[in-house]
Chains A and B, each alone.
Chain A
Amino acid sequence: MTEWQRKTPLEWQKYVTKEVNVTAAEKHDYKGWVLTVDPVSANIVLVTFLEDGKVSVLVVLGHAVQEVGIVKEADDEMREKLALLFMPGES
């Protein structure tokens, strides 16, 4: 088990709605807003809002996560966009 997988749900929660940099296995680097961390697999869901209105979702598997660094906090608008994503009644 990696350090990331051993974290508690309260520790994972600190990353939710933050913009982060994730370093993963085989030198992969990802950046995005943390929508959630699956407490079962430790998979981390990163969201990027694209200019054409589309949403890009990238998930790094928990076992492949090496380091997660917080870049910045969400403002109210970003918090709301993240909260509404994938919720029933939204597309």
Chain B
Amino acid sequence: AVQLEQEQQGRVVMRERYLRSLSAMAGHPVRFTMYEKVNVTALFEASDIDILNFHVSELQTPLGVQRDALLRCSDIISYTFEL
């Protein structure tokens, strides 16, 4: 029971830090590295709680700028931004 409690406490701290990193990213340009060597840049707007999709705006694509888009997290390898 002590082990379980420790584990839950650890989850809470790590989850809160992750959610804070997402809030800090909102409105900033983010560079996404996707599978098949695709790189795109967009402004981050929001995520769902399961971290399955990212809502972005101003998505830069070879065909022009998409005002709003949904990126599936399963298509993304990494993302990066600066503060």
Contacts and interface: CB of A to CB of B under 8 A. Distances in A.
Q: Do A and B come from one complex?
A: yes
Identify whether the interface residues of B are mostly helix, strand, loop, or mixed. Answer: helix
Contacts, number: 96
Q: Identify which of B49, B73, B78 gathers the most chain A CB atoms within 10 Å of its CB.
A: B78
Task: Report, as a range, how many residues of chain B touch the other chain.
Answer: 20 to 34
Identify whether the interface residues of A are mostly helix, strand, loop, or mixed. Answer: mixed
A27 B76 CA distance: 14
A68 to B, nearest CB: 13
Counting from the closest, the 10 A-B pairs by CB-CB distance are A36-B17, A38-B18, A41-B51, A86-B20, A58-B80, A39-B11, A64-B77, A9-B10, A9-B11, A60-B78
Interface of A: 8-10, 12-13, 16, 24-26, 28, 30, 35-41, 43, 45, 50, 54-61, 63-64, 86-87
